[in-house]
Amino acid sequence: MSEKPASLEPMKLTDKIYVAGHRGLVGGAIWNELTRRGFSNLLGKTSSELDLRDRTAVFEFVLANKPDVIIDAAARVGGISANNSYPAEFLSENLQIQVNLLDAANAADVSRFLFLGSSCIYPKFADQPIKESSLLTGELEPTNDAYAIAKIAGIMQIQASRRQYGRHWISAMPTNLYGPGDNFHPENSHVLPALLRRFHEAKESGSKEVVLWGTGTPLREFLYVEDLADACIYLLENYDSPETINVGVGEDVSIRDLAEIVSSVVGYEGKITQDVTKPDGTPRKLLDISRIKALGWEPKTSLREGIKQTYEWFLVNEENLRAK
């Protein structure tokens, strides 16, 4: 089957679309973008309303509502520290969430399903930039291998459902994400929001120094979450292949240079030092986005502009952040 089939029609504005994880960074951005485009039949449940680890509850919800589209943006996520500290929970809970959703979607004959993973599924030392074909060709980064294995299982289940049931279901692997609605917890967040909060607090307190984990040399790629939301809708309407597809920006930046940009946006004027006793994680992780570009999609937001918009959101919502 070709990657861009002529038979794949645009979604209808009246389609019933269930966004799993609609209160999170990714799900929230997708929900907002769907709303902005005029989709009027969106379904969303908070974790207190529907525990996606509860198989019976998930089946009851999906079978009762029979969505036309499911976007799985629900996951237990975190940075190096969280992944390294809670591997059992990261493996078990993510497997439960996605298996329950995918099995229920098969039972309800859901026509379109988008499974979202993470670029950490690829081998630690994959050739750069990382092509989708690198999947399962080498060992994983040990600090987040449990989360990666769960997401790889999700890709496999998408492919198995296509093969067994003829589903037009797809999976996409975003690079590192950031933006409004992010988790700014000082220990369990990803690197960009963690840096943004740290520099903000250092500025507020008048601290003369901010200490970064590791050497600062690892290279990372960062995609603004609103660009990902745009890509998700684009893929649902323009992509139909069993192979997962990368979503990124196609260029990366060192952690040290990222810190310099964040510091500049925040307006922090102190010193930046490195704690080289802390882990670096994967040395480089840049996605090859040639396939999604060939479909006609590219990101729109520059790194500095995205960080600026994220910081503006942070300032407005600082008192009400989910993780203080």
At 1, the pLDDT band (50, 70, 90 cuts) reads: very low
The answer to whether 246 and 173 are in contact (CB under 8 A) is yes
Work out the average pLDDT over 54-81. Answer: 91
pLDDT tens by residue, 6-35: 567 899 999 999 999 999 999 999 999 999
pLDDT tens by residue, 33-52: 999 999 999 999 999 999 99
Work out the average pLDDT over 193-201. Answer: 94
Interatomic CA distance for residues 226 and 182, integer angstroms: 12
Supply the DSSP string of 261-299, one letter for each residue: HHHHHHT--SEEEEETTS---SSEE-B--HHHHHHT---
CATH T-level topology, domain 17-178+223-250+286-300: Rossmann fold (3.40.50)
Alpha-carbon dihedral of residues 31, 28, 169, 222, nearest 10 degrees? 130
Q: Is residue 18 annotated as a catalytic residue, yes or no?
A: no
Least confident of 71-75, 151-155, 279-283: 279-283
Interatomic CA distance for residues 24 and 189, integer angstroms: 13
Interatomic CA distance for residues 242 and 13, integer angstroms: 26
Q: What is the pLDDT of residue 91?
A: 93
Q: How many CB atoms lie within 10 A of CB 172?
A: 22
Q: What is the pLDDT of residue 26?
A: 95
Q: In whole angstroms, how far apart are CA 15 and each of 10, 26, 39, 112, 237?
A: 10, 20, 7, 11, 13
Work out the average pLDDT over 183-207. Answer: 89
| Of 36, 118, 122, the residue nearest 72 (C-alpha) | 118
Catalytic residue among 18, 147, 178, 224: 147
Work out the average pLDDT over 230-236. Answer: 98
Interatomic CA distance for residues 41 and 13, integer angstroms: 8
CA 56, distance to chain mean position in Å, is 26
pLDDT tens by residue, 202-228: 999 999 999 998 999 999 999 999 999
**Average pLDDT of the chain to the nearest whole number:** 92
Q: What is the pLDDT of residue 114?
A: 98
Q: What is the pLDDT of residue 90?
A: 85
pLDDT tens by residue, 238-294: 999 999 999 999 999 999 999 999 999 999 999 999 999 988 877 888 999 999 999
Name the token pair of 64.
């009762």
Interatomic CA distance for residues 243 and 159, integer angstroms: 8
Interatomic CA distance for residues 18 and 85, integer angstroms: 31
Residue 208 burial (C-beta neighbours within 10 Å; 0-12, 13-18, 19+): exposed
Parse the chain into domains and list their residue ranges.
17-178+223-250+286-300
Q: What is the pLDDT of residue 50?
A: 98
Work out the average pLDDT over 194-202. Answer: 95
pLDDT of 191 higher than 90:
no
Percent of the chain with pLDDT over 90: 81
Q: What is the pLDDT of residue 256?
A: 96
At 80, the pLDDT band (50, 70, 90 cuts) reads: low
